[in-house]
Structure 1
Amino acid sequence: MSTAKVLTVGSAVGSIRELFAKVKSIDEKHGKFDFVLCLGDFFGPPKDAEDTYEEDHEILQLLDGRLEAPVECYIMQGEHSLPAPIIEKFAKTGGTLSKNVFLLHKSGVLTTPHGIRIGCLAGIYDSNVYAAAESAHGFTSPYFTAQTVEKLLANTMTSSKPKEQNYTSLASIKSSSASSQLIDIFISNAWPAGITEFSSAPLPAPELAAIGVEPVSEVVRKTKPRYHFAAGGGRPPRFWEREPYTWDGPEDTGRVSRFVSLGAFGGEQPSGKKPRWFYAFSIAPLSATSEPQPKPTNATQNPFLHRAPKRHLDFEAQQPGKRSRTDGPQGKPPSGYKCKICESEEHFITDCPEREKPNEGYICRICNEPGHFVRDCPVKHAVGDTGGRKPREGYVCRACGSELHYIQDCPVANQAGKGHARRGPPKEIAPDECWFCLSNPNLSKHLIVSIGTECYVTLPKGQIIPTHQGAKHPNVPRVPGGGHVLIVPITHYPTYLSIPPDLAEPIIKETEKYKSALRAMYAKHGAAAVCFEVGRLSAKGGHAHVQVVPVPNKLKNAVEDVFREEARASNITFEDDPDEALRVAEGGRCGYFRVDLPDGRKLVHLMRERGPFSIQFGRQVLASVLGMADRFDWKACTQPEQEDMEDVQAFKAAFAPFDPSLEL
């Protein structure tokens, strides 16, 4: 690992050829730069769906290799949805758009050959979209959501490195678990909330003091980037460099952070002198043995660890009975108040007739109707079957079996809970609580047997196949280490079919590669593979994974019959057309259970009926196929860590010739 020389540039806004020419000139005069970070809106606004790009358009020239970048460039999504040809290329390659041009994921983290960790939070912030969205938005949406931030923080616990020093695509990046969430460089569109506090650096425009958003601050607090670059510093963007600030934790070794907001290279420019749009610097990776960084003489207090005293407006101090945030839109504003939208002194901003309306296609999460934000929903405070938040298709209240309300609105549950404190709705599972996120410190990393670009493979706790006690059972497959494994996407998604379509292809492609590799490995040891996924959209939100279990060849023809027999006994119906059923479940429209049989056919059950679906159904069926009733419960099958490690080593050695992550 060595020092990297980096050039960071502001939004190109579609002036790609001109930007490349400028970068080439700067590189010749002040380089050589190891790579360029292209902030913000690289492509400009996309065309309408019915419009096409002419053959000589710069986007198509870039994708075809007719327009080449002079230096390796990492680009991000800016304030617009990405053009369709870009999304299509990303889906096929995992990020490579052309030689030297790589598109970072919306919540991307990677490690360069120099050992520099770069994090990216792409897209723009809207409080209503952020709070209401049920999943991370893909590149077809300009927004990032709460799930996008969660995935970024989860991804900071992975380390993406190129397989070769002279790598040519992000698809070749190899992922492995990292020991820390700390990153070296963070790039975003939005500013973090509070970044201007304790700073005496003059702002180029006063409105910039209030443009920061809290989700970006959360990322900064947890990742402590040494450099943070932003592109969205006003309209049009302005240049502003804050004084450095330090972190004082025992593990921070005098860690120093710097924040820089760049002006745009292309697009609309403010009047007067063009804001500075590029920033060059050198950076070397830090390690536990690195010397503490010297504290800069102009360093300020850390705005993310401390809060500057808030200044109250004069009219607030004079109005002890002023309107609180929870009051409804009523009454007249106090003297001196101006609506921030239309500058009227006659109404509050919540009553403004020019108040922003949702974009076309936006659906209120509460009532599932268009035309208004969640904050303005007319049934926002209604509950029960006659109003309030309507469940998504397939949801069943666990208290009464109704599909018309969530459990927190259930009259049966509320009646049963009278006299006891209400606990509120279920809390979402955070990445550091998820059983399968690499960021969870309690994840059993010693069970992981392979890590690819998009997925990892792990032995489960308490696998079905006995490998020590009970290993002499006549139906035990002879796969080293047992062979029962989980294929898990590194990024947190509830189910495979809930992954945004423009991001799904590389994940699904690698999952299928792992399935094929496991089938080949099992075949060598006289066994066939059965794969199953419980795609349950629970209230807390799980983490997608596929379980793969070997069965001896002598039993493989019995698998379908046992699945169907157990399904009938459990009132579970498999769909006549499994492929059509999976299309119905796409986009998280309903939960599903999928089985890939040894002969390649599928069984699919859609979770639309009343009543629960046991997440252990697949395991219990396969335990029946193997004649191992004592292996129904995984908790009863756990074993000492030493025996787990012996299984891991045996499996890895046997899987190595087939492992797609080891392909050159």
Structure 2
Amino acid sequence: MSSPPAVKVLAVGSAFGSITNLFAKVKTINAKHGPFELLLCTGDFFGPPGAANESEEVDALLNGQLEVPIPSYIMQGDFPLPQKVVAKLGQNNGQLCANLFLMGKSNLLVTSHGLRVGIFGGTYDPEGFNLPLPEDVHPLSVASFDSHMLKSFLANPLLPQEGQPSASTSFSAAKNGHNQYIDILMTHEWPAGIAQHCTLPLPDPGSPNWGAQPLQALARLRPRYHFASGGGPQPIFWERQPYVWDEDSRVSRFVSLGAFGGPEPEAGKKKERWFYAFSIAPQTEPSQPQPRPANATPSPFASRGSKRELDAGGGDNFIWGNDAKRTKPPPGYACKICQSSGHFIKDCPQKGAGENVPPENYVCKICNQPGHYVKHCPEKNAVGDTGGKKPPPGYVCRACGSEEHYIKDCPSASARSQGGERGDRRKEIGPDECWFCLSNPRVTKHLIVSIGSECYVTAPKGQLPPTDGTGPTQVPGGGHVLIIPISHYPTLQSVPSDLVIPIISEMERYKSALRSTYEKYGAVPVVFEVARLTGKGGHAHVQVVPVPVELGDKVEEQFQRDGGANGMDWEADADAALEHASRSGENYFKVDLPDGRKMVHIMKPGRQFNLQFGRIVLANLLGLKDRADWKACTSSDEAEKKDASHLKTAFASFDPSL
């Protein structure tokens, strides 16, 4: 049975009553980067109580006079909803107008595509959490949620129930659409502890203390994406590193969104990012574990969630008001020392074994979990999907892009070798050694020009254009850059479908910004990419080189001429060739010409391809043949810092990350 197609989703932060402007902006984004099939509006769509809630704009919305460009779902944030909205909710089962649906304070939505979206809105009031709501008060007329609302939401029979088998292993339940984990979770508040294990910079010094403790109960839903909008004093954008659950390697991502509407930022501060575009395929049946992202951490809820029972039936339980200690682990818990399910690690009889128990802050480098040394790791001898040893997290097979086996155990590599292609036995590069991974301390950081949320821009070592004023282009600092995804993937075509949209979107924004920068200095960009799933290299990137505007229409001719001299042919339909390469895993070389057209060459098995081909062609075009080899163009660290600084200054007014 084929997998369902991916769904393009756009999530946005609080509109704060700027409804017409929000939908106008969404319409523009949809035309440029869509079509999107869902719009998820987190936080406060209508804004604070008062005149704004009674405005003509709200009336026009409820009367169907405002265009809602795509199916949109809204929730409750910090404020009670306007009474006229609450009244309309009761009249039409949640539909406020064409394409706009209010999901109430809590709800489970199963879209026509099969996506399972959980919504739990409102704020956390510790003093009123365990107090019942008066019968004559509508839940949407108050800002906070209470224990009864949370308990009722978690009791939904379509959600995983405490004590039942893992959703990933309950095949019959999954096939019937019951007791599955959800795809997307929308809450207003952050869950307490979401920053645990995260090594990225936090958005605020106080953010480790942000969040609602009861929302940790929602962790058992294991959403693939979790969006929130009310973490701190003001809405703020922050994307946490992906985190992985132990039992089934399910990957979750948490994103806090800034506000679309509301007051303008203070002088000197930029507006927080308020939107997030992504693609996600519904999981309608049990599937193979997801590849572990190179920057993934353990789940921040794995230890907390297993030590505190989420029994909706009552008893001594912190969620329902009694923070009592439990003595028996929940289903699925395993002691990290002896693997027993009958006691917590603190009660393990082997805990006193001295050298077998690591210190509290020790984390195993194989599985990224505390509680045992590397030599005792249960995953140390794990078997990959082809029967050989399973690689460590972050490893990517260069033959097929899988993270589940080494290249020596890869069927694709074996087939190529038998077919006459030279086997590549060189040691492969992982994120800890990769020249382009920011997590590698050996990365040359003084060359970095800009860092976005998905990609970064850096000048290369030994860039092609001279920077002393003698070259054919006058872009400050040379202008030759690489645009590199922050996450470690061997090619852009190998990025998972549910992650590729934000990466490509940010790459395109950087390309557009570079085009504007070059234009200021009489130049146009040429972009090229070498995409190989084999070989020692292994981090996707594109190179962007400025050429004088008068040579822009000569670029295609130069690539045709130099390619022909090397026995290369070019595909008649570049887009179709890229689509086929994505499906088949073929290696390719791509050029984006200054006029927006593409050139694509599919690499032939068994034939060598010069990785410097793109640079050599442009060196010939620019009359810089003596600079075709980057090693002949390197300079001192001080000179590189100076060039990068000049380019950064020239780029600043166009930089999409600022």
Task: Return the TM-score normalized by structure 2.
Answer: 0.50
Residue aligning to 2:243:
121
1:178-197 to structure 2, matched below 5 A, reads 187=300
Change (3 A) 1:255 1:483: farther
Residue aligning to 1:427:
427
Change (3 A) 1:169 1:564: same
Residue aligning to 2:439:
439
Residue aligning to 2:189:
71
- Residue 436 of structure 2 aligns to a residue whose secondary structure is coil
RMSD over aligned Cα atoms: 6.0
Instruction: Quote the Cα distance in structure 1 between the aligned partners of 2:454 and 2:120.
Output: 30
Residue aligning to 1:647:
643
Instruction: Quote the Cα distance in structure 2 between the aligned partners of 1:115 and 1:242.
Output: 37
Give unmatched runs, 5+ long, in structure 2: 1-105, 110-115, 132-142, 145-152, 161-166, 195-214, 260-264, 278-293, 306-325, 352-358, 365-369, 388-396
Q: CA deviation at 1:23?
A: 8.1
Instruction: Quote the Cα distance in structure 2 between the aligned partners of 1:602 and 1:570.
Output: 19
Residue aligning to 1:557:
553
Q: Does 1:582 align with 2:603?
A: no
Letter in 2 for 1:428: E
1:379-398 to structure 2, matched below 5 A, reads 389-391=410-412, 397=417
- Residue 300 of structure 2 aligns to a residue whose secondary structure is strand
1:347-496 to structure 2, matched below 5 A, reads 389-391=410-412, 397=417, 403=419, 407=423, 425-468=425-468, 471-473=469-471, 476-496=472-492
Residue aligning to 2:593:
597
Q: CA deviation at 1:454?
A: 0.5
Q: Show CA shifts across 1:280-305 (max 9, x none).
A: xxxxxxxxxxxxxxxxxxxxxx8445
Q: CA deviation at 1:257?
A: 8.0
Instruction: Quote the Cα distance in structure 2 between the aligned partners of 1:586 and 1:479.
Output: 35
Q: CA deviation at 1:658?
A: 0.7
Structure 2 counterpart of 1:204, from 322, 326, 329 = 329
Residue aligning to 2:313:
none
Give unmatched runs, 5+ long, in structure 1: 1-11, 102-111, 127-141, 173-180, 193-200, 215-232, 246-253, 260-301, 311-324, 327-349, 351-364, 369-373, 409-424
Letter in 2 for 1:448: I
Q: Does 1:526 align with 2:542?
A: no
Residue aligning to 1:569:
565
Letter in 2 for 1:477: T
1:139-158 to structure 2, matched below 5 A, reads 143=250
Q: CA deviation at 1:582?
A: 0.8
Q: CA deviation at 1:589?
A: 1.3
Letter in 2 for 1:472: T
State whether residues 461 and 630 of structure 2, in contact with CA within 8 Å, keep that contact through their aligned partners in structure 1: yes
State whether residues 391 and 406 of structure 1, in contact with CA within 8 Å, keep that contact through their aligned partners in structure 2: no
- Residue 72 of structure 1 aligns to a residue whose secondary structure is coil
Structure 1 counterpart of 2:510, from 503, 509, 514 = 514
Instruction: Quote the Cα distance in structure 2 between the aligned partners of 1:536 and 1:309.
Output: 33
Instruction: Quote the Cα distance in structure 1 between the aligned partners of 2:586 and 2:188.
Output: 47
State whether residues 454 and 510 of structure 1, in contact with CA within 8 Å, keep that contact through their aligned partners in structure 2: yes
Letter in 2 for 1:460: P
Letter in 2 for 1:542: G
State whether residues 452 and 657 of structure 2, in contact with CA within 8 Å, keep that contact through their aligned partners in structure 1: yes
- Residue 456 of structure 2 aligns to a residue whose secondary structure is strand
Instruction: Quote the Cα distance in structure 2 between the aligned partners of 1:538 and 1:624.
Output: 28
State whether residues 243 and 297 of structure 2, in contact with CA within 8 Å, keep that contact through their aligned partners in structure 1: no
Aligned length: 414
State whether residues 421 and 606 of structure 2, in contact with CA within 8 Å, keep that contact through their aligned partners in structure 1: no
State whether residues 204 and 239 of structure 1, in contact with CA within 8 Å, keep that contact through their aligned partners in structure 2: yes
Aligned residues: percent identity?
Answer: 36
Q: CA deviation at 1:403?
A: 3.2
State whether residues 121 and 189 of structure 1, in contact with CA within 8 Å, keep that contact through their aligned partners in structure 2: no
State whether residues 534 and 615 of structure 1, in contact with CA within 8 Å, keep that contact through their aligned partners in structure 2: yes
Q: Does 1:619 align with 2:635?
A: no
Instruction: Quote the Cα distance in structure 1 between the aligned partners of 2:240 and 2:605.
Output: 45
Change (3 A) 1:463 1:19: closer
State whether residues 242 and 295 of structure 2, in contact with CA within 8 Å, keep that contact through their aligned partners in structure 1: no
Letter in 2 for 1:642: E
Change (3 A) 1:169 1:257: farther
Instruction: Quote the Cα distance in structure 2 between the aligned partners of 1:629 and 1:169.
Output: 46
- Residue 661 of structure 1 aligns to a residue whose secondary structure is coil
Q: CA deviation at 1:608?
A: 3.3
Instruction: Quote the Cα distance in structure 2 between the aligned partners of 1:602 and 1:627.
Output: 23
Instruction: Quote the Cα distance in structure 2 between the aligned partners of 1:610 and 1:188.
Output: 48
Q: CA deviation at 1:653?
A: 1.1
Instruction: Quote the Cα distance in structure 1 between the aligned partners of 2:244 and 2:159.
Output: 14
State whether residues 594 and 602 of structure 1, in contact with CA within 8 Å, keep that contact through their aligned partners in structure 2: yes
Letter in 2 for 1:71: E
Instruction: Quote the Cα distance in structure 2 between the aligned partners of 1:532 and 1:213.
Output: 52
Q: CA deviation at 1:239?
A: 9.8
State whether residues 244 and 298 of structure 2, in contact with CA within 8 Å, keep that contact through their aligned partners in structure 1: no
Change (3 A) 1:564 1:497: same
Instruction: Quote the Cα distance in structure 2 between the aligned partners of 1:564 and 1:509.
Output: 29
Q: CA deviation at 1:202?
A: 6.3
- Residue 534 of structure 1 aligns to a residue whose secondary structure is strand
Q: Show CA shifts across 1:1-37 (max 9, x none).
A: xxxxxxxxxxx9969999948984657459999xxxx
Instruction: Quote the Cα distance in structure 2 between the aligned partners of 1:21 and 1:541.
Output: 46
1:278-289 to structure 2, matched below 5 A, reads none
Residue aligning to 2:630:
634
Letter in 2 for 1:407: G
Instruction: Quote the Cα distance in structure 1 between the aligned partners of 2:534 and 2:445.
Output: 25
Instruction: Quote the Cα distance in structure 1 between the aligned partners of 2:537 and 2:429.
Output: 6
Letter in 2 for 1:509: S
Q: Does 1:504 align with 2:617?
A: no
71-80 or 489-498, which deviates more: 71-80
Instruction: Quote the Cα distance in structure 2 between the aligned partners of 1:478 and 1:577.
Output: 34
Q: CA deviation at 1:203?
A: 5.3
Instruction: Quote the Cα distance in structure 2 between the aligned partners of 1:522 and 1:648.
Output: 15
Q: CA deviation at 1:533?
A: 0.6
Instruction: Quote the Cα distance in structure 2 between the aligned partners of 1:509 and 1:188.
Output: 31
Q: CA deviation at 1:407?
A: 2.3
- Residue 187 of structure 1 aligns to a residue whose secondary structure is coil
Instruction: Quote the Cα distance in structure 2 between the aligned partners of 1:481 and 1:160.
Output: 36
State whether residues 525 and 547 of structure 2, in contact with CA within 8 Å, keep that contact through their aligned partners in structure 1: yes
State whether residues 391 and 404 of structure 1, in contact with CA within 8 Å, keep that contact through their aligned partners in structure 2: no
- Residue 605 of structure 1 aligns to a residue whose secondary structure is strand
Q: CA deviation at 1:390?
A: 3.0
Greater relative contact order (Cα < 8 A, sep 6+):
1
Q: Show CA shifts across 1:487-512 (max 9, x none).
A: 00011111111100111000000000
Residue aligning to 1:178:
none
Q: Does 1:610 align with 2:606?
A: yes
Instruction: Quote the Cα distance in structure 2 between the aligned partners of 1:651 and 1:506.
Output: 25
Task: Return the TM-score normalized by structure 1.
Answer: 0.50
Change (3 A) 1:70 1:661: closer
Instruction: Quote the Cα distance in structure 2 between the aligned partners of 1:212 and 1:504.
Output: 39
Q: CA deviation at 1:648?
A: 1.1
Letter in 1 for 2:527: C
Q: CA deviation at 1:605?
A: 1.0
Q: Show CA shifts across 1:467-522 (max 9, x none).
A: 13xx424xx21111100000000111111111001110000000000001111111
